[in-house]
Structure 1
Amino acid sequence: MNSVEIPSYFWGLATLGLCLLLFPKLNPGNPLHRLIVSGAAVGSILIYMIWRMVATLDLDTSGSALLSVGFFILEVCSTLGGVLVLVVLTRRRDRLEDVSGNMRWLHAHRPSAAIFICTYNEDIGILDRTITGALNQNYPAKVYLLDDGRRPEVEALCRRREVEWLTRPDNVHAKAGNMNAGVATLAARGEMPDFVAILDADFVALPNFMSHCMALFQDPAVGVVQTPQHFFNPDPLQHRIKGHLDLPDEQRFFFDTLLPAKDGWGTAFSCGTSSVVRTSALTEIGGFPTDSITEDMLLSIRMKEHGFVTAYLNEKLSLGLAPEGIGEYCTQRIRWCIGAMQIMRSPDGLFSRKGLSWIDRMSLLETLLYWMGSFPFRLACLLVPILYWMTGLTIMDAPIGELAAFLLPRLLVEAFAISWYSNGRILPLLTDTSQLLVAPEIVAASCHTLLLPGERPFKVTNKGGDRSRTVVHWKLLSRFAAILLLTVGGMLFSYGSPLAPTFFSDQKDIVALWSMYNVLVCIIAIIVCVETPRRAEERAPISGTALFNAGDCATPVRLLDISSSGVAFANEGNWRIGDRGTISIRELGEVPAIIARITDHIVGAKILLSPQQQVALTHFQFGGDRMRTPDVSTLSSVLALIRGLALN
């Protein structure tokens, strides 16, 4: 009797069917279901990696062996990092019930609190907005603005807003030094609060920020409370793909999915802004650490060594500005990478002799593999197909049928698992693009910091500024354009010329699929490298009716949205550009206005707010959670990505 040959694509289709059947029935809130999902994903990864190791390495020549083994090592490092993330995701902790349960303790004890706003060169308007949020807390906290720029205009702002302006004679140790100087000043005066909140200059605390964070300190073992960072403006990818409210920002998976899971294992860590610190614990560890430019993560490690944990409260309690340009995005990521590598080399790092628990070391290993595993692997995935088209060298020696049988189940299960955990908060295509935008610099920075220790300069991520012009990042764009041309040219040469080294290769079809994915990544990266103008300020939706007063005529208008420089209302009258008058808005009073833009449905007017009206507007925008942030799901994110690419 003849045996029936199973098609190579069978296992991929079977895996897809099982995923579609089972994943919708599983609940992320069920610990057993989380174990099942991570177990299935890790199992499929292990099966694939064992097959890769024993059956696919191409060792026929020295060149192919070097390429094949080198790529496999990078793949192992990146995959191990992914496996550790899947292990971490098996747990999750939600502290919202703890907050409500601890409110009675908070109101009974009323511990003292302060808010530190750290600034260096941020715009006055950004600082004014942040001060307004800090002063609008429903729990008493004295506000201090720590100005490392020592600017007279900031001193004047603080005097006007009645918050204390603190400076120091130098900028030693950057942000950590600035905060330590603030703590030292309060200690010298005998005014040290029980707790101090940390806000970056561009982060506006919502009214419940202090009270909800403070409630978690009923547990004396809590040294730091960290809250998520949400952004009310689009990051560079969201802006260019035109999907701010439908696409996840680059940090959404980390704050909404990964940090709650780390908290379940007791390995959550401070991320700087939007956190609150117990000052007695801070004193015990010797202040904010200065031996890493990411003092926030090192703060949590030092706290852990002294018996204090970092609690993660996954509640939207502050809103800030995401990096608005590619340059700022790259600066921020490189700084994080350098800081992480400094921690790895420090006495508190992965290989230290201190009494770190195995789970703390696993968390540090996952961080190390993220920076030193995933970024080099992404680069290799971009460059290896080009090398194949040009030379015929391969990274694996395996029939296409076997590759499909082992690779497809691994990719499908892992993709379904991450999507199930995150509900659209991470899209592989955008993640790959965002990493590749800065990958060469990350690889260089991580290797340089590990091999050549020493103090590194702290580069501030610029926020605000003029975004009214189109800016082309030619150096970065040319990098991706060259890769795109080499990839496409290599494919055309391979399929079109018998002289191509891969013309008769039985692997070129699978490498062609790989190359087409790379082409799509390069196209998105090139789009992002061209920064188009964006609004100077993000707008908040506003409803209701206002009166536009021009001379003796008062015209009712239906409001749509508002910022500190403009208001939009429905085009339901005879308007002309240049019409002047005042607009009476319930939340602000009477505001000077001039019509600046007219479309078929919307009229846009420039407005000029007084300082008091600016404060009232900030209360309106941030006091009621009106500033919009992404609300994503897997389906909406995918559709938004497709729509955004089509519009470009």
Structure 2
Amino acid sequence: MQYARTTLLRIGWGPAEWAAFRRGLIKILVITNLILGAYYLLWRGTVSLNWHAWWFALALFGAELYSYIGSFLFGLTVFRLKERGEPPPAPPGLRVDVYITCYNEPVELVRKTVRAAIAIRYPHQTYLLDDGNSPAMRAMAAEEGCGYIIRSPVWQGFDRHAKAGNLINALEHTTGDFILILDADQVPLPTILDCTLGYFTDPLVALVQTPQYFINVPPGDPFGSQAPLFYGPIQQGKDGWNAAFFCGSNAVLRREALARTGIRFFVRDVERRIRRTLREADTVVKRAERTLTKADRHRIAPALRALRQAVRQARHELSRGDTFQEVTERFQQRAEAAARLIVAADLQQIMADLAEIQAAEAAEIMRSLNDEAILAELAARERSPLAAIETVRQLIPLLVNEAMEYLPISTISVTEDMSTSMRLHACGWRSVYHDEILAHGLAPEDLRSALQQRLRWAQGTIQVMLRENPLTLPGLSWGQRLAYFDTMWSYLSGVPTIIYLISPPLFLLFGLLPVNALSAEFFWRLVPYLLINQLLFAVISWGRPTWRGQQYSLALFPLWIKAVVSAAANVWFGKKLGFIVTPKTRQTGRYFGLVRWQLAMMILLAVSIVVGLLQLTLGWRNDGLPVLVNIFWAVYDLIMLSVVIDAALYQPTEEQ
């Protein structure tokens, strides 16, 4: 690749011509890759499946389909790769707030970020958002002349929403039109606002994201902390579809866009809850009708019909555009009228209940039956047959008033960033990815911290997929939908990876083959597809070290499975996910237990390689080509998985 680039430069092509050539080559390779992949999979699914081992054959074919869809989404993402070059100049006079979010980090670490933030050249106000409410952090902020914000008392007794809640609280206490968000360890360069604010001259731009780069990564990047592929071609590709998303730090956001988007989704959520509540109310009334005895049906059925009519009328008013307050107040009035109707019609039953009470007390109550308050109380008693109506009557206020606050930052995920930017895009706002390192951060320094961080990212992404899937979220273009879904799809790779990993051992140890035969026809279809796939990846990642990232994308298969299971349990069954802030200092301990599944898989692969070679050497097998092919893949898998051993054994030098 470097030779090709040098040749092009020799014939007079400058950087612009070279960039245009690369983008054109990417488009050609994306299309070629999709065609070859479809050609191979069509043949695989119709001709080559080994039905004698159907469960294995179908599992592997499913994994290959997953990979092809991932390849399609990745190719689509980078198909419109946008390289923006020099940023437009920052207009003077903008009101800018710089937020530094922190939660129990070391004070001196945060001090470096605070000092660098205060030193940013463009005029601004700097605020330390201390979610730990630390006296030492407060004192440090005062020493450095930095604004200091903690949670206001209104958050007491409510879900704090982790970092999202911290940002929402700060937005309520500041007034800047633009907000630069920095993590506690992300030390900004003085030019960060000069290089980003110019994009906001476009009134529709809501977000400018810049890369996250870590200065404490040792040679070889043992934990795969740097993400040059994501903070490069992937974000540039998403930028081409107006889908570059917020990554939690090193980003500038427009306050107006957050406010408008928050209001729109607040209204949407209120309407959705009211509609759901009305459906539940209808179900409650129908259930009550089915439980009526023949004796009760004459007295109570008219009131239940009136209540069902109230539900239908509320739905009609909501669709007509009446305000939520009007709809709910009218519904409440109709429900209360239905309850009083039953009380009036069922006086004899109530009298039977009162017969047990002393005569004097009963007479007193009878004299009070004309009192509206007492009538309502009787209608609400559990011993009354009106429990169903009372349930319906309370549904609307309970659900509408249930923590229905305005949220400019999304709180549907433990990672607020992707969901917030996706909502911005759904409301018609634009984003920009500026590919220039403008802040220096600190990466995790031990395997446990690195895995905690990746688990949180994966869990948050899956939460967003399950709660607000981009494929169905109104307002997004199809390019944006698929660009977002590409990131989500990548975190579903755990099970397909296991299938790929166990395929060589299943053949080498047990002779199970998922295809009819590893014939020339098979290789003529598979090899070109794999070669073009790798060539496409090489061109996309041109000049960026991506090998470590490729290793971890495969080696972390247990983590991806855990993320999917735990996120699904949270969304579907309400199981709480803890928000773990990534430690900013090295944590001591033994780490081989954290990668036990990878180590077990490596042992299985190594044993299968030895068995395969031994059988060939002793002449116990005559299928030499299939054995060698599977040994090749087993060796490749071992190399990919070996990254976890490097990470578990890593010890920093004394200088670090």
TM over 0.5: yes
Which letter maps to 1:83? F
The residue matched to 1:462 in structure 2 has which SS?
coil
Of residues 256, 268, 272, the one that matches 2:232 is 256
Alignment match of 2:647 (pick from 528, 546, 551): 528
Please name the residue that 2:541 is paired with.
Answer: 422
User: Could you say if the C-alpha distance between residues 228 and 22 of structure 1 is closer, same or farther in structure 2, counting changes exceeding 3 Å?
Assistant: closer
Distance in structure 1 (CA, Å) of the matches to 2:440 and 2:68 = 33
Distance 1:522 1:292, change over 3 A: closer
Distance 1:20 1:115, change over 3 A: closer
Q: Greater share of strand residues, 1 or 2?
A: 1
Alignment of 1:199-218 (within 5 A): 199-218=182-201
Aligned residue among 229, 232, 235 for 2:212: 229
How far did residue 238 of structure 1 move? 1.2
**Which whole-Å CA distance do the structure 2 matches of 1:391 and 1:114 have between them?**
64
Matched, 1:150 2:124: no
Counting aligned pairs with the same residue, the percent is 27
Closer, same or farther: CA 501–378 of 1 in aligned 2, 3 Å:
farther
The residue aligned with 2:486 is 366
- Kindly indicate whether residue 243 of structure 2 is the aligned counterpart of residue 267 of structure 1: yes
Which letter maps to 2:474?
Answer: K
Residue 475 of structure 2: aligned partner: 355
Q: Is the 8 A contact 2:413 2:463 kept in 1?
A: yes
Tell me if structure 2 keeps the 8 A contact 1:59–1:65.
yes
Q: How does 1:448-467 map to 2 (within 5 A)?
A: 448-450=566-568, 452-453=570-571, 454=574, 455-465=576-586
Query: Shift of residue 379 of structure 1?
Result: 2.7
**Following TM superposition, by how much is the alpha carbon of 1:523 offset from its aligned partner in structure 2, in angstroms?**
3.0
**Residue pair 2:188, 2:438 contacting (<8 A) in 1 also:** yes
Matched, 1:29 2:20: yes
Match for residue 181 of structure 1 among 163, 169, 190: 169
Q: Which of 73, 95, 106 matches 1:123?
A: 106
Cα gap change, 1:451 to 1:477, in 2 (>3 Å): closer
Please give the residue correspondences for 1:165-180 in structure 2 after superposition, counting only pairs within 5 Å: 165-168=148-151, 172-180=160-168
Of structures 1 and 2, the one scoring higher in RCO (CA 8 A, sep 6+) is 2
- Residue in 2 that maps onto 1:446: 564
Asked whether the 8 Å contact 2:5–2:18 carries over to 1, the reply is: no
> Closer, same or farther in 2 for the Cα pair 1:345/1:485, shift >3 Å?
closer
Inter-partner Cα distance in structure 1 for 2:41 and 2:218: 35
Task: Measure, in 2, the Cα distance between the counterparts of 1:500 and 1:387.
Answer: 20
Q: What SS does the aligned partner of 1:144 have?
A: strand
Report the counterpart of residue 280 of structure 2 in structure 1.
none
1:493–1:500 contact (8 Å) kept in structure 2: no
Structure 1 residues 479 and 341: alpha-carbon distance in aligned structure 2, compared to 1, 3 A threshold:
closer
Q: Offset at 1:260?
A: 0.9
Summarize deviations over 1:268-302 as a string: whole Å, max 9, x none: 11111000111111111221111111211111111
Aligned to 2:440: 319
Is 1:376 the counterpart of 2:498? The answer is no
Partner of 1:338: 459
Paired positions, count? 493
2:169 alignment partner, SS class: helix
Going from structure 1 to structure 2, the CA distance change for 1:163 and 1:27 (only over 3 Å counts) comes to same
User: Is 2:413 aligned against 1:292?
Assistant: yes
So what's the TM-score if we normalise by structure 1?
0.71
Match of residue 509 from structure 1: 628
User: Aligned partners of 1:339, 1:408: CA distance in 2, in Å?
Assistant: 36
Distance 1:93 1:492 in 2: 48
Please name the residue that 1:245 is paired with. Answer: none
Structure 2: 5+ residue runs without aligned partners? 9-16, 263-407
Q: Pick from 377, 384, 393: which aligns with 2:512? A: 393
1:51 paired residue among 32, 36, 43: 43
Distance 1:501 1:339 in 2: 52
CA distance in 2, matches of 1:206, 1:133: 7
Q: Which runs of 4+ in 1 moved over 6 A?
A: 18-24, 498-502
Indicate if the aligned counterparts of 2:236 and 2:244 stay in contact, CA closer than 8 A: yes
Counterpart-to-counterpart distance in 2, 1:410 and 1:22: 24
Instruction: State yes or no: 1:411 paired with 2:530.
Output: yes
TM-score, scaled relative to structure 2: 0.70
Structure 1 match to 2:67 = 78
